[in-house]
Structure 1
Amino acid sequence: MGEPSYEIPLVEKPPEKRLDSWKEIATYLNRDVTTVQRWEKREAMPVHRHLHDKRGSVYALSEELDAWIQSRSVRIDEPEDKPEADTPPIDHTHQGAFAPRSLRPWLILGTVLSLCLLVPAWLALRHRATVTVAPRIRSLAVLPLRNLSGDPAQEYLADGITESLIGRLSNIHDLRVISHTSVLRFKDPQLSTPEIAKALGVDAVVEGSVMKEGDRIRVTAQLIRGATDAHFWSETYDLKMRDALTLESELAQSIAEKVEVTVTGEEHQRLSASRPVAPEVYESYLKGRFVLEQGNIAEVEQGIRYFEDTLNKDPTFAPAYLGLAKAYTRLGTVFAGLPPETTRPKVTSFARKALALDPTLVEAHVVLANVLQQEWHWAEAEAEYKRALELGPNDADAHSAFALWLLCQGRTNEAVDWVQRARALDPVGVSGASVAWILFQTHRYEDAIRESRSALALQPDHGSDLLGLGFALIANDKPADAIPVLEKALALSPGSPAVIGVLIRAYAHAGRRNDALRLLAELKRRAKTTYMPAAAFVNAYLGLGQYDEAFTALEQAYREQSNILQFLKTHPYFDPIRSDPRFAELVRRVGLA
Structure 2
Amino acid sequence: MTSERSPDVKFEIGHVLFIDIVGYSKLLITEQSEQIQKLKQIVRGTEQVRLAEAEGKLLRLPTGDGGALVFRTSPEAPVLCAMEISKALKNHPELHVRMGIHSGPVNEVTDLNEQANIAGAGINIAQRVMDCGDAGHILLSKRVADDLDQYPRWRPLLHDLGDCEIKHGQRISVVNLHDNQVGNPQRPENFKARKTEEGAVSRSNKKALTAAVITLLFVLSVGFFLFPHLFRPSESKVASNPHGVSKDDKSIAVLPFIDLSQARDQEYFCDGISEEILDALAKVEGLRVVARTSSFSFKGKNADVGDIAQKLNVQNVLEGSLRREGNRVRITAQLVNARDGFHIWSDTFERELQGVFAVQDEITRSIVDALKIKLAVAPPARAQQNTEAYDLYLQGLYLSNKSDEENLRKSLNLFQHALDKDPTLSRAWVGIAKAWFWLADAYVKPLEAYQAVESAATKALELNENDAEAHAYLSEAKRVLHWDWKTAERELQRAGEIDPNSATAHLMFAHHRVCSGDLEGGQMELDEAERLDPLSPLVSDHQAILFL
TM bucket (normalised to shorter chain) is: 0.5 to 0.7
Identity value in percent: 32
Provide the C-alpha distance between the structure 1 equivalents of 2:446 and 2:506, rounded to a whole number of angstroms. Answer: 24
Equivalent residue runs for 1:77-476 within 5 Å: 137-265=249-377, 268-269=378-379, 272-332=380-440, 334-336=441-443, 338-374=444-480, 375-429=482-536, 430-440=538-548
Is the partner of 1:349 in helix, strand or coil?
Answer: helix
Q: How does 1:43-54 map to 2 (within 5 A)?
A: none
* 1:220 aligned counterpart, secondary structure: strand
CA contact (8 A) 2:429 2:460 kept: yes
SS in 2 for 1:359: coil
- Structure 2 contact 529–539 (Cα < 8 Å) conserved: no
- 1:435-482 per-residue CA deviation (whole Å, 9 max, x = no partner) reads 223343xxxxxxxxxxxxxxxxxxxxxxxxxxxxxxxxxxxxxxxxxx
Conserved in 1, the CA contact under 8 Å of 2:312 and 2:535?
A: no
Superimposed CA distance per residue, residues 283-330 of structure 1 (whole angstroms, 9 cap, x where no aligned partner): 111001101111100111110110111111111111111111111112
Q: Does the 8 Å CA contact 1:407/1:438 hold for their aligned counterparts?
A: no
Residue 504 of structure 1 aligns with which residue?
Answer: none
Shift of 1:135: 7.4
Q: Read off the aligned partner of 1:393 and give its amino acid letter.
A: P
Q: Which residue matches 1:32?
A: none
Cα distance in 2 for partners of 1:228, 1:171 equals 27
| TM-score, normalization by structure 1 | 0.49
Cα distance between partner residues in 2 of 1:214 and 1:339 = 42
Decide whether aligned partners of structure 1 residues 411 and 281 sit closer, same or farther in structure 2, where only a CA change above 3 A counts. Answer: same
Q: Which moved more, 1:431-440 or 1:196-205?
A: 431-440
Paired residue type of 2:518: R
Q: 2-side partners of 1:142 and 1:331: how far apart?
A: 27
SS at match of 2:508: helix
CA RMSD across the alignment: 1.7
Equivalent position SS for 1:431: helix
Query: Once the 2 structures are TM-superposed, how far is the Cα of residue 392 of structure 1 from its aligned partner?
Result: 0.5
What code does the residue aligned with 2:383 have? R
SS at match of 1:233: strand
| Partner SS for 1:298 | helix
Question: Equivalents in 2 of 1:197, 1:341: separation in Å?
Answer: 41
For the pair shown, the structure with the greater C-alpha radius of gyration is 1
On the 8 A contact 2:248/2:314 being kept in 1, the answer is: no
- Within 2, Cα distance between the matches of 1:200 and 1:150? 32
Give, in whole Å, the separation in 1 of the partners of 2:406 and 2:248.
45
Once residues 143 and 201 of structure 1 are traced to their aligned partners in structure 2, the CA distance between those partners, rounded to angstroms, is 14
Could you tell me how far apart the structure 1 residues matched to 2:484 and 2:326 are? 49
What is the deviation of 1:398?
Answer: 0.8
| Cα offset, 1:199, TM superposition | 1.2
Q: Which amino acid in structure 2 is aligned with residue 399 of structure 1?
A: H
Contact 1:246 / 1:274 at 8 angstroms: preserved in 2? yes
* Residue type at the aligned position of 1:353: K
The aligned length equals: 301
Q: When you count helix as a share of all residues, which structure comes out higher? A: 1
Secondary structure of the equivalent of 1:239? strand
The AA in structure 1 aligned to 2:335 is L
Report if the CA contact (8 A) 2:507-2:539 is conserved: no
Could you say which structure has the higher strand fraction?
Answer: 2
Partner deviation per Cα, 1:336-390 (whole Å, 9 max, x = no partner): 1x22332222211111111111111111011101111213111111111011101
Give, in whole Å, the separation in 2 of the partners of 1:194 and 1:341: 46
Instruction: Please give the per-residue CA displacement for 1:385-443, whole angstroms capped at 9, x wherever unaligned.
Output: 01110110111001111111101111112211211110111112243322223343xxx
- Corresponding residue SS for 1:388: helix
Structure 1 gaps of 5+ residues are 1-133, 441-593
State the Cα distance separating 1:136 from its structure 2 match. 6.5
Give the alignment's TM-score, normalised by structure 2: 0.53
CA distance 1:136–1:178, change in 2 (3 Å): closer
**Equivalent position of 1:33 in the other structure:** none
2:334 aligned counterpart, secondary structure:
strand
Give the letter aligned to residue 413 of structure 1: E
